[in-house]
C-alpha cells in the first residue's frame, strides 16, 4: 500500500465503477440503503458485516468503509457472492493474498455457498471513496 495519509493530494482522480444490476457501488455505505429489504433474512447485511471485519493491513479501517469494495453482487438462487475490490495502491504487498482473505471471510457467512473476489484497478482508488466513519477514524474530518 502507499503512504497516502501523509500526501495531501488524492492518489488519482477516479469515478465510481458502474454497478451491475443487483450490485452495490460507491464509497459511502449509504449506497447500500436498500439492505434489510431482503425477505430471506438479509444475506446482504451479513456479507457486508463480514467485509467490515476485514481490515487493511496498514490502515486501522475496514475495507468496506475504506471504499475498497467496488462491487458486490449476490445470486440468491445459488447463494453465490461476487465481489470486485481494489487496494489503495497497485504495489500493495498483500495484492496476491488479500483477495483470498476477503473471499474466506465471505465464505464464513451462513447461507453463502460460494464466493469469488476479483481484484480491479480501474478506476484507481482515491481517499474520497472512504466513508465518513473512516475519515473520522483517521482524523481527516
* Structural domain boundaries in the chain: 13-137
Rounded Cα distance, 37 and 34, in Å: 6
Q: Does CATH place domain 13-137 in 3.30.2130.10?
A: no
Mean pLDDT of the chain: 77
Percent of the chain with pLDDT strictly greater than 70: 71
- Look at residue 63 in the predicted model and tell me its pLDDT: 96
Q: HEC string of 37-67? A: CCCCCCHHHHHHHHHHCCECCCCCCECCCCC
Residue 2 in this model has a pLDDT that exceeds 70: no
- Residue that wins the pLDDT comparison between 102 and 24: 102
pLDDT tens-digit profile of 57-95?
A: 888 899 999 999 999 999 999 999 999 999 998 888 888
- Look at residue 72 in the predicted model and tell me its pLDDT: 97
Is residue 13 left, alpha or beta, with left meaning phi > 0 and alpha meaning psi from -120 to 50? beta
Q: Which grid coordinates are listed for 107?
A: 465464505
Do residues 25 and 67 lie in contact, with contact meaning Cβ atoms separated by under 8 Å?
no
Amino acid at each position: 500500500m502507499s503512504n497516502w495519509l501523509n500526501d495531501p493530494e488524492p492518489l488519482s482522480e477516479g469515478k465510481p465503477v458502474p454497478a451491475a444490476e443487483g450490485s452495490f457501488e460507491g464509497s459511502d455505505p449509504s449506497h447500500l440503503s436498500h439492505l434489510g429489504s431482503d425477505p430471506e433474512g438479509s444475506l446482504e447485511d451479513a456479507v457486508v458485516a463480514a467485509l467490515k471485519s476485514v481490515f487493511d493491513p496498514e490502515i486501522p479501517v475496514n475495507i468496506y468503509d475504506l471504499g475498497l469494495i467496488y462491487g458486490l453482487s449476490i445470486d440468491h438462487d445459488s447463494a453465490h457472492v461476487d465481489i470486485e475490490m481494489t487496494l489503495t495502491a497497485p504495489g500493495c504487498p498483500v495484492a496476491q493474498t488479500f483477495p483470498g482473505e476477503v473471499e474466506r471471510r465471505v465464505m464464513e457467512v451462513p447461507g453463502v455457498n460460494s464466493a469469488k473476489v476479483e481484484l480491479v484497478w480501474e478506476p484507481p482508488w482515491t481517499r474520497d471513496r472512504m466513508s465518513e466513519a473512516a475519515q473520522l477514524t483517521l482524523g481527516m474530518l
